[in-house]
Amino acid sequence: MARQTLLIDADDTLWENNIFFEKSIDEFVSRLEPLGYTREYTRHILNETEKRNIRQHGYGVRSFRRSLEDTYMKLAGNAAKREMIQWIEQLVSELENTPPHIMDGVPETLAYLAGHHRLILLTKGEAAEQAAKVERSGLQTHFEAIEIVTEKEHTTYERVIHQFKVVKSNAWMVGNSPRSDINPALRCGMNAVFIPHVATWELEKCALESGSGKLIILSSFRDMRSHF
Ligand SMILES: [Mg+2]
């Protein structure tokens, strides 16, 4: 196989991310139960609040903390307590300090891939937060470049393609999110490798679209080795 350019997502592709957020959300929802709303309703309000805050403040733990606080203030109304805001702060700081949990087979698979292809890490989120995660992961040496973007849209991919002089027919986006990784990459004329993760974030879920490029679906990152 000729040398390919592999754009690789990080959260929930190279390391676990969403399971830690889900755990925090579970604790948050339980903590709000005495207010008398169903768990589903509290979660629904949180999802709507997150969508709004992401549009305004982007992704990341700080935006997440704001969403938890806004949800609490909205649901508690006049009964809102200061201790609960402090508890949220504590919950988010624990989340922020959780060390990256690299997925099975990732380091050796990246080492193999880097020997044959050009690897670029493409992750979205708050720049400092994502950069810290990359550094703590110890995986950065496998990549020619680390690109941290605020959103992964069609235009983001066009910019990356231009910046790195990527030949689309020899380029693949590898990731777990149909909405941010697979669909926009295919729409740009690149190929894609979809590695679904059972705990993909609700706001990332959407149907797979088809494009002119090839689409490979794998059950684990380790399986990249058999295709590249
Ligand atoms: Mg991801």
Domains present along the chain, CATH in parentheses: 5-15+101-226 (3.40.50.1000), 18-96 (1.10.150.240)
pLDDT at 209: 86
Residue 204 has pLDDT above 80, yes or no: no
pLDDT at 65: 97
**Residue 74 banded pLDDT, cuts 50, 70, 90:** very high
If you average pLDDT over residues 6-13, what whole number do you get?
Answer: 97
If you average pLDDT over residues 140-157, what whole number do you get?
Answer: 96
Which residue did the predictor score with more confidence, 136 or 212? 136
- What the block records as the tokens of 48 is 């709507």
pLDDT at 165: 97
- Tell how far the Cα of 193 is from the centroid of ligand 1, in angstroms: 12
- Tell how far the Cα of 28 is from the centroid of ligand 1, in angstroms: 23
Read off the pLDDT of residues 103-119 as tens digits, 9 standing for 90 and up.
999 999 999 999 999 99
**Residue 4 banded pLDDT, cuts 50, 70, 90:** very high
- Tell how far the Cα of 83 is from the centroid of ligand 1, in angstroms: 33
If you average pLDDT over residues 148-160, what whole number do you get?
Answer: 95
- Tell how far the Cα of 60 is from the centroid of ligand 1, in angstroms: 13
- Tell how far the Cα of 41 is from the centroid of ligand 1, in angstroms: 26
